[in-house]
Structure 1
Amino acid sequence: MPCYRCGARQTDPDHGPSPWRRGVRSDRQVLVCPDCQHGRDWTADLDHCTSCGATALVCRLGEVECRTCGRVRATERMAEPPAPSDGSGLSEEVAAALSRVLGGDGLAT
C-alpha cells in the first residue's frame, strides 16, 4: 500500500521498526511515509476517535477501532473497490525483489 499523500511505496527497513505510520482516513486504512510525516501536522488529515480524539485508529472488517480508548464503531460507508492503478513501476519493483530473493535473473530453477 503506498503513502496516501505522495504515493511512495512502502519499503521494509533493514533493522528496527518501520518509520511508516498507519492511520484511518475516510474510514479507510492508510499509510503515511516518513517524508510526509515531516512539516505540518500530518495527523490533521486523519480520522479522529469521536470518544477521545486520538488518531490511533485501525480499520478492519467494516469497523474502526481506537487503539487509545478501545472504542469500536461501524464504518460509515460500504467498502468500495480500490481505484485502478496504471501500475507504473510496479513490475520493475517486483522483478527487482524477485532478483534479490531468488538471485540472478529472478527465475527459479
Structure 2
Amino acid sequence: MLICPDCQRTHDLDLDTCTTCGSIALICRLGEVECRSCGAVRLAGSRPESPARPDGLADEVAAALDRVLGRLTSHA
C-alpha cells in the first residue's frame, strides 16, 4: 500500500518499521522486506515488534495467484 509522505509524518498510523533503524521506508518483494534507509532485510510477514495478525491473507493471495496463473496446486 502506498501512503503519501505527508500522511506518514502527520498521522498516527500503525506502519511497519525497520527493526534495525526504525525507518518506515520499506520495500516488500518476493517474500522479503528491505529497508530503503539502512538496507536491512527480513522475511515478509515477520513483525516481531507488533501483535500477531490473523492468518489466512497469504493463503488467499496464493490461491488467487494460482487461479490467475492457472496453477493446479491447492493451499490448505
TM-score by length of 1: 0.37
Q: Percent identity of the aligned residues?
A: 53
1:47 Cα shift? 0.2
Rg larger in structure: 1
1:1-109 matches, cutoff 5 A: 30-32=1-3, 37=7, 40-41=10-11, 44-76=13-45, 79=58, 80-81=60-61
Structure number having the greater strand percentage = 1
Question: Post-superposition, which runs of at least 4 consecutive aligned residues in structure 1 deviate over 6 A?
Answer: none
Partners of 2:4 and 2:10 lie apart in 1 by: 14
SS in 2 for 1:31: coil
RMSD: 3.5
Structure 1: any 5+ residue segments left out of the alignment? 1-29, 83-109
Q: Which amino acid is 2:2 matched to? A: L
Aligned length: 52
Structure 2: any 5+ residue segments left out of the alignment? 47-56, 63-76
